A and B are shown apart, each in its own frame.
Chain A
Amino acid sequence: ATKQGSIMSFFTKK
């Protein structure tokens, strides 16, 4: 099974 990750975990907050 796969789970959907959040895009926020890949990019840093400016």
Chain B
Amino acid sequence: MFEARLNAATTLKKVLDAIKDLLNEATFDCSDAGIQLQAMDNSHVSLVSLTLRSDGFDKFRCDRNLSMGMNLGSMSKILKCANNEDTVTMKAQDNADTVTFMFESQNHEKVSDYEMKLMNLDQEHLGIPETDYSCVVRMPAMEFARICRDLSQFGESVIICCTKEGVKFSASGDVGSANIKLAQTSSVDKEEEAVTIEMQEPVSLTFACRYLNAFTKATPLSNQVQLSMSADVPLVVEYRIPDLGHIRYYLAPKIEE
């Protein structure tokens, strides 16, 4: 028996919004530790890794490890039927071929349930090596989303260049070129507004705008985003989900031909 409850459906809606543009379907691996999802986008350029810890749920029970393959388009249709404040419970029997989403209104007067067919997906789990990154940048998630959106007007690629002075995002194309520099903040009233840079070695890497923009769909989950970079390895874009877990996106850099 698997049962996981969140007191506000809005969190699950935001999680789904953060992955459904990159992935058509994905396997949710459930264990007593929580829910894990790892999947590559169709083009195998990026990888999404989602962790929702069991202690972050308002109720969590998982008697036997369970892998639930879900069509994210179908899941999205179902979650649209929940109000943001509804309690949401996911339930499945052991070895079931369906999962049930139950929504309950705050006043307990409306209860809906939606049963969704599960899919058998070929899972290809990749081992992600522990890496000491040359540069780790933390910045407001909204700022990162804005930069990705603005720069994608100028080119298909963004060059991220990080030194101890700051981080520079650049794009160029037919229109011309654009550069956005962010310095490390000296003092801020609110921690979520800070830009911080931990640098061992400067890096300059090129990434596809399209994927960076897709990652920023996770912005509503977190005030801050963390970018981890080293030469010639994938960028990690991490959004922490308060009290629940995190979503990490790995993006292969573009390389000189």
- Using a CB-CB cutoff of 8 Å, which residues 34-48 of chain B contact chain A? 40, 44-47
Smallest beta-carbon distance A10→chain B, Å: 5
Q: Indicate if the CB atoms of A7 and B46 lie closer than 8 Å.
A: yes
Chain A: number of interface residues, binned into ranges: 10 to 19
Q: Indicate if the CB atoms of B125 and A2 lie closer than 8 Å.
A: no
- Using a CB-CB cutoff of 8 Å, which residues 1-14 of chain A contact chain B? 1-14
Is B124 an interface residue when CB atoms closer than 8 A count as contact?
A: yes
Residue of A at shortest CB range from B44? A6
**Chain B residues, Cβ within 8 Å of A12:** 126-127, 129
Binary A-proximity of B221-257 (CB < 8 A = 1, otherwise 0): 0000000000001100000000000000011111111
| Residues of B bordering A, CB below 8 Å | 40, 44-47, 124-129, 157, 206, 208, 233-234, 250-257
Q: What's the dominant secondary structure at chain B's contact region?
A: strand
**Chain B residues, Cβ within 8 Å of A11:** 47, 126-129, 250
**Chain A residues, Cβ within 8 Å of B255:** 2-3, 5
| Residues of A bordering B, CB below 8 Å | 1-14
**Chain B residues, Cβ within 8 Å of A6:** 44-45, 252
Q: Indicate if the CB atoms of B127 and A10 lie closer than 8 Å.
A: no
Q: Indicate if the CB atoms of B206 and A2 lie closer than 8 Å.
A: yes
Residue of A at shortest CB range from B233? A10
Nearest first, the 8 A-B pairs at minimum CB distance are A11-B126, A2-B254, A14-B125, A5-B252, A7-B252, A12-B127, A6-B44, A1-B257
Q: Indicate if the CB atoms of B254 and A3 lie closer than 8 Å.
A: yes
Contact A8:B257 (CB < 8 A) given known A13-B126, A14-B126: no
